Amino acid sequence: MAQLLHWVIVLLVLSQFVVGFYAQPLPVGIERLKMLTFHKSVGITVFALVVLRLLWRWYTPAPKLPAGMKPIERFGAHFSHVALYGLLLTLPILGWLTSNASNLTVRWFYLFNLPNLVEPDRGIARITKDLHDAGAWCLLALVCLHVAAAFWHEWVRKDGVLRRMLPLWMLPLEDR
């Protein structure tokens, strides 16, 4: 379950970067509206799935890190995961705030409206948008670090940390 959620969130977050970067320079219009409605809906979904995944982790804690990792490595692993979760939770909220401050109500996949968190305010919109954009770059950097660390575990340390996150069908037959 934790694994499935991880990969679903990966796909959604990747699409967030693609749609976000694509929509940002678009002029105001229906295409931008469509793209951003999708972006916001997926963002809210990511938020909900991350909450679900954290609850799941709390219910069934993640396996321990391999023995033999240096304290600094353990700290790095721990810190980067906290930062990842933190950004995955704050970016959707910052986007939601930016929408509301721009006088836009967030509608989830054209199905239902989410409550407005703030009154329209151009000043707030500017701040939350800048934070959302900066946060997105941080998330992108952290994702790269996360992927690099996964391969480091696989190829340098050979401790099987990456494999335990892969679905069975992706593993070599002898390891299943």
Partner 1 sequence: MKTSLLLISSCMALAWSVGASAACWKPVPSPKSLTFTASQGGAPFPGEFKNYTASLCLDDKDPAKDSLRVDVDLNSVDTGLDEMDGALKTDDFFDTAKYPKGSFVSDSMKQVSPGHYTVTGKLTLKGVTKVITVPFTWVPSKDGKQVRLDAKTTLQRRDYGIGKGQWDDPQYVGLGVDVIFAINFVPAP
Look at the block and give the residue holding tokens 């690099």: 148
Q: How far is the CB of 121 from partner 1 (least distance, A)?
A: 8
Given a contact cutoff of 8 angstroms between Cβ atoms, the answer to whether 81 and 25 are in contact is: no
Nearer to partner 1, 34 or 163 (CB): 34
Nearer to partner 1, 33 or 141 (CB): 33
**Number of residues located near partner 1, criterion CB under 8 A:** 19
Q: How far is the CB of 151 from partner 1 (least distance, A)?
A: 41
Measured distance CA(142)–CA(144) in Å, rounded: 5
Measured distance CA(121)–CA(64) in Å, rounded: 46
CA distances for 73 relative to 77, 79, 139, 149, 150, angstroms: 6, 10, 20, 10, 13
Nearer to partner 1, 133 or 154 (CB): 133
Q: Restricting to residues 15-44, which ones interact with partner 1 according to CB under 8 A?
A: 27-31, 33-34, 37
Q: How far is the CB of 49 from partner 1 (least distance, A)?
A: 23
- The H-or-E segment that residue 113 falls in is strand 112-113
Q: Closest by alpha carbon to 92, among 11, 12, 5, 8? A: 12
Contact characters 103-142, partner 1, x per CB under 8 A: xxxxx--x--x------xxx--------------------
Nearer to partner 1, 31 or 175 (CB): 31
Given a contact cutoff of 8 angstroms between Cβ atoms, the answer to whether 4 and 70 are in contact is: no
DSSP 166: S
Q: How far is the CB of 84 from partner 1 (least distance, A)?
A: 30
CA distances for 170 relative to 27, 89, 101, angstroms: 42, 29, 44
Q: How far is the CB of 55 from partner 1 (least distance, A)?
A: 29
- Contacts with partner 1 by CB under 8 A lie at 27-31, 33-34, 37, 102-107, 110, 113, 120-122
